[in-house]
Copies of this chain bind each other. A is one copy, B any other.
Amino acid sequence: MTFSFHHHLRSGDWVINEVAKVIQKKKLKNIHIAPSSIFESYTELVPCIENGNITSIHTSYMNGPVSIAVQKGLLKGELVMQTHGGRARSIESGEIHIDVAFLATPTVDKLGNGYGATGESACGVLGYAVSDLEYADIVILVTDHLVDALDHIQLSKDYVDAVIVVDKIGNPEGIVSGTTKITRDPIGLKIAKDTSVLLDKLGLIKNGFSMQTGAGGTSLAVVDYVRAIMKKRNIKGRFASGGITSYYVKMLEEGLFENLYDVQCFDLDAVKSVDRNQNHIAISASKYGNPYEDLPICEQLDFVILGATEIDLDFNVNVTTDSFGRIIGGSGGHSDIAHGAFCTVIVSQLIKSRLPIIKEELQTISTPGENVDVFVCERGIAVNPLRKDLIDQLNRKKVPIFTMKELLEEAHWVTGVPKKLPKNTKRIGVVEYRDGTIIDSLYQVESHV
């Protein structure tokens, strides 16, 4: 059977662990799970993997003990790393058939409707649960907050088979991320400042524009610089999307954006805002990034600011593994919005932990280079040669452009040329692009360094 879960309670989720305990107790075998992400606290999955209760996994992001177990080769079947939009596509197209969806739901009414933005375990939007809700054979809402009636509904009773009321569905402290603060690092701030100038020179900050950024410190600094430009020139954007943080809530409430399109809330301000603001709009993973969806939000984006663990000379980006090939994340929405946006900018320090971020060969390709347009680091800006339009525009504005090779040589001048690690060879999983194409493999890492 296939069981599915969403990850909106993030590190605070107790539902997936409770179900995993039952899987162990009932000695179920060869279960396939399809959680939208796996966080470090989902530890009860580890014995399930070790004992062959769970033998294959589809997910879009993964770290912590489950990553380590899978990396060791303990999963009997295969791991498929999807994108958020690709996961919705695969469920809605029938490629993944979910037998039972266990959906942690912060508030449920007596009719079985669900809502995410109220209750003690409020997490805001439940965007990654919608495909599961609509397509799973059996849908179970698990809640710790049952109310008579809901004013706003995110999960419709029409699809719900059962509601389970428990004492607690999670730990509120783990649910909302505490990491969403603007960087104070001067290099991060310089990169952010340069990025905002670049976006402005490209004419992308104008009335009616749309943007998305990650929740990292440098990305948030870009948001702050963009905000300053908008206020100075009295610019109103059409929307920001994501992964919404308090920074975007502030901009919505200042009237700088018409709408926020929110597939998951990153902090408590966002959770409160989606309950309060009519124009803070909860969207599903399909609406966000399903390639089979008609004009999903990701395809309406003017620019996006994203991170990387590695980037190569062809602008291919790795956000799935570290320099040793160890799984420390996954695409999430990275590939979806990189594909959809008119201009995709990767921001990073050129050198991290004494290693250049630019590689001649990546450990893993998460997002193909053809979806990536610009790389900004503290030493300069590189533009994908495929984007002659952007290069022409920046040349006219006398913005200096480097090649990736030049930036790589600059990095090597500081760090030396890192020695090549022997490539791992025993395949443990694959990276699936948003449209279902397998674009890379994941390998067993013998000693977990």
List the interface of chain A (C-beta within 8 A of B): 110-111, 148-149, 151-152, 156, 158, 259, 275-279, 281, 287, 294-295
Contacts and interface: CB of A to CB of B under 8 A. Distances in A.
B276 A151 contact: no
Nearest to A275: B278
A287 B149 CA distance: 10
Contacts of A111: 294
Given A158-B158, A276-B278, A277-B278, A295 B259 contact: no
Nearest to A259: B151
Interface residues of A, dominant DSSP: loop
A238 to B, nearest CB: 11
The quantity of this chain's copies bound in the complex is 2
18 contacts: A110-B294, A111-B294, A148-B294, A148-B295, A149-B287, A149-B294, A149-B295, A151-B259, A151-B279, A151-B281, A152-B278, A152-B281, A156-B156, A158-B158, A275-B278, A276-B278, A277-B278, A278-B278
Contacts of A277: 278
A201 B279 CA distance: 40
Contacts of A295: 148-149
Contacts of A156: 156
A151 B279 CA distance: 8
A158 B133 CA distance: 14
A156 B159 CA distance: 13
A259 B275 CA distance: 13
Residue from A111, A276, A277, A294 with most neighbouring chain B CB atoms (10 Å) = A294
A7 to B, nearest CB: 25
Contacts of A276: 278
Which 6 pairs show the lowest CB-CB distances between chains A and B?
A278-B278, A151-B281, A148-B295, A277-B278, A276-B278, A110-B294
A156 B130 CA distance: 15
Contacts of A158: 158
Nearest to A134: B158
Contacts of A287: 149
Nearest to A156: B156
Contacts of A148: 294-295
A98 B277 CA distance: 37
